Amino acid sequence: MITVTDLTKRYARHTAVDHISFEVHKGQIVGFLGPNGAGKTTTMRMLTCFLPPTSGNATVAGFDVLEQSFEVKKRIGYLPETPPLYPEMRTAEYLQFVGSLKGLAKAELAKRVDYVCERCAILDVKDKLLGKLSKGYRQRVGLAQAIIHNPDVLILDEPTSGLDPKQINETRELIKSLAGDHTILLSTHILPEVEQTCEQVIIINKGKLVATDSVSNLQNRARGAESLLVEVGARNGLMDPLKVQSSLELVPGVSRVHLKNKLDNRSIFEVESRKGLVRGDLARAVVEAGWDLNELRPTAVSLEEIFLQLTGEPAAAPAEEAVPAGVK
Amino acid sequence: MRNVWIICRKELRSYFVSPVAYILLAMFAVIFGFFFWNILGYFVFRGMESQMRGQMMPMNVNEEVIRPLLSNVSVIGLFLIPMITMRLFAEEKRTGTIELLATSPVSDVEVILGKWLSAMVLYASMLLLTAINFLFIFRYGHPDWKPLVIGYLGLLLQAGALLAIGTFISTLTKNQIIAGAATFGVCLLLWVLEWVSGYETATWARVLSYMSVITHFESFAKGLLDAKDAIFYVTLIFFGLFLTARSMESLRWRS
């Protein structure tokens, strides 16, 4: 549905988008992920024919964005970062205007307006002035205008920014429910959003493509390793966590042991290891040394870590990592 | 063509839903009413004066009432036109709705024509208000109606040219006030250029005075339809709208 090859946008002083290529297939819902200023909006503006690319090309629904922009525009619904609403218009009136702008015939128009109002749950504000709507409603009217002409492709620029948690959930559900009929590309800098709504993710940073993969693959791929949480206890009085740590490090396959938390008679470690049978060896090592194994479980690597790894930004150190003074 | 009408209707709705249109119409009606009252008063006074002296000077309603009134309308227009055009594109750029227009299957030319046409309709409805005053003249006098129609045509052409220039200026900024002030400046300049002809007859002065929008209105105010003057205004309309289209295009390449 969307094919992007070597797309580049250069401005006088900097390159906003630098030779990115990706593909979005029909019916997919794809997250376009990157920190602020990564070039997400610029890319989307090029896909919607708002900005012409400096070089490279992109096709939407088989039409080139530069050469056949008219055909592309007919087939996309676009929700910019701030919904493009006219404050002096009423909701229904506005949707009618957008619908006729997109080329809907008069007979169809009323039906489509009713349909999108219902779909986006804005029936109760149909006759209200857009300028008086709350942020959540504005966003939903924005979505409604994007789907009014039943486009093949939906391009949504940060559809959940600035909403409260309840509205964010509602909007996500709405977007997910639209996925069947439309191919959706949505940008965000919020990772859980991608994990929850998208099947495929495209990560860009500083204008460059960093990764493109399915969400589950990306989670698996993380380091090709797993991360385990091990809690070791001592039944008879105190134990030396450093001693435990060094014996855990001796287990084959373990690459790093990190003391996460130390309590009176138990310690919690984070163990990074190769995938495989390391868990059993770990358990044996603990028990054979005479300690108790209270807990041993894999911790899922969040997309956040992958993201930070890929974009090359150091992971923020969690507060609990600080080793308590008493350990020394 | 359908798209032009869609845009035009939306703009008209914006004018008439917000107080903009009503304030402009009211201001225009009051100012024009005052001019009308003044000029008519002076006409009546002169009539009585010549009667008292016993000399029957020929007096002409067309020459002495309608013509100065039409010239006055054209001057009031210079002041009100910036207020009509300043929001056309500046507001869309500020609120980001320009992105909606630019990503819809409508061409820039259709958007521009729609917006300019809506400004024309608003100006024409202001002119319609003056018709009420002229009705009184026709009720109590017997002026010739043809010069009046040509005068109105001239007003529309002149306003069309200034509105096109205002539309262009509105694409240059996100700020309505800046767009309005700049348009006012340009309108005023196009008006006063004519003054140089008062003391200078060199070629440069003739060129400057020719560029003034007032110069070309004189024939219309007299009730003469001069192709030269009509073509001047039509050219200016095309020029203004052409600049607007170029500006819209450069907006995409720059932003």
Kindly determine whether residue B104 and residue A102, on different chains, have CB atoms separated by under 8 Å.
Answer: yes
Q: What is the mean pLDDT of chain A?
A: 83
List the A200-205 sheet strands across, edge first. A76-79, A153-157, A183-188, A29-33, A200-205, A208-214
Q: Are residues A238 and A192 in the same domain?
A: no
| Of B16, B159, B22, B182, nearest in space to B89 by CA | B182
pLDDT higher than 60, residue A318 = no
Kindly determine whether residue B95 and residue A86, on different chains, have CB atoms separated by under 8 Å.
Answer: yes
Q: Into how many domains does chain A fold?
A: 2
Region of poorest pLDDT, from A98-107, A220-229, A237-246, B75-84 = A220-229
Cα separation of A301 and A297, whole Å?
Answer: 12
Q: Are residues A238 and A140 in the same domain?
A: no
Answer whether residue A245 is part of any domain: yes
Residues in B touching A85 (Cβ below 8 Å): 95, 97
Kindly determine whether residue A84 and residue B96, on different chains, have CB atoms separated by under 8 Å.
Answer: yes
Answer whether residue A215 is part of any domain: no
Work out the percent of chain A whose per-residue pLDDT is above 90: 26
pLDDT higher than 80, residue B111 = yes
Chain segment B62-72, per-residue pLDDT in tens: 888 888 888 88
Q: Are residues A225 and A144 in the same domain?
A: no
Chain segment A233-287, per-residue pLDDT in tens: 887 767 778 888 888 888 887 877 888 888 777 888 888 777 666 788 888 888 8
pLDDT at position A219 is 67
Region of poorest pLDDT, from A127-131, A192-196, B123-127 = A192-196
- In CATH, what number is assigned to the domain containing residue A297? 3.30.70.3190
What residues in chain A have their Cβ under 8 A from chain B's Cβ atoms? 45, 48-52, 70, 73-74, 76, 78, 80-82, 84-89, 93, 97-98, 100-103, 145
Answer whether residue A296 is part of any domain: yes
Whether the complex's predicted ipTM surpasses the cut of 0.90: no
The band of A222, judged by pLDDT with boundaries at 50, 70 and 90, is: low
pLDDT higher than 60, residue A323 = no
Q: Are residues A157 and A197 in the same domain?
A: yes
pLDDT at position B1 is 80
Amino acid at A29: I
pLDDT at position B169 is 96
Kindly determine whether residue A73 and residue B103, on different chains, have CB atoms separated by under 8 Å.
Answer: yes
Our CA-based measurement puts residue B211 at a distance from the nearest CA of chain A, in whole angstroms, of 37
Answer whether residue A211 is part of any domain: no
Q: Which of A206, A234, A265 is the last residue of a domain?
A: A206
pLDDT higher than 60, residue B74 = yes
Domain chopping of chain B, boundaries = 2-254
Q: Are residues A277 and A133 in the same domain?
A: no
Q: Which of A52, A87, A101 sits opposite B252 (nearest CB)?
A: A52
pLDDT at position A228 is 81
Q: Are residues A175 and A50 in the same domain?
A: yes
- In CATH, what number is assigned to the domain containing residue A49? 3.40.50.300
**Residues of the domain holding A271:** 221-327
Chain segment B190-203, per-residue pLDDT in tens: 988 888 888 888 88
Answer whether residue A171 is part of any domain: yes
Give me the mean pLDDT over the A221-227 stretch.
Answer: 62
Q: Are residues A202 and A225 in the same domain?
A: no
Q: Are residues A50 and A157 in the same domain?
A: yes
Cα separation of B246 and A44, whole Å?
Answer: 24
Q: Are residues A53 and A144 in the same domain?
A: yes
What residues in chain B have their Cβ under 8 A from chain A's Cβ atoms? 2-3, 6-7, 10, 13-14, 17-18, 95-106, 252-253, 255
Q: Are residues A116 and A225 in the same domain?
A: no
Answer whether residue A37 is part of any domain: yes
Q: What is the mean pLDDT of chain B?
A: 90
pLDDT higher than 60, residue B133 = yes
Answer whether residue A305 is part of any domain: yes
pLDDT at position A328 is 36
Kindly determine whether residue B100 and residue A73, on different chains, have CB atoms separated by under 8 Å.
Answer: no
Comparing alpha-carbon positions, the chain B residue that sits nearest to A71 is B105
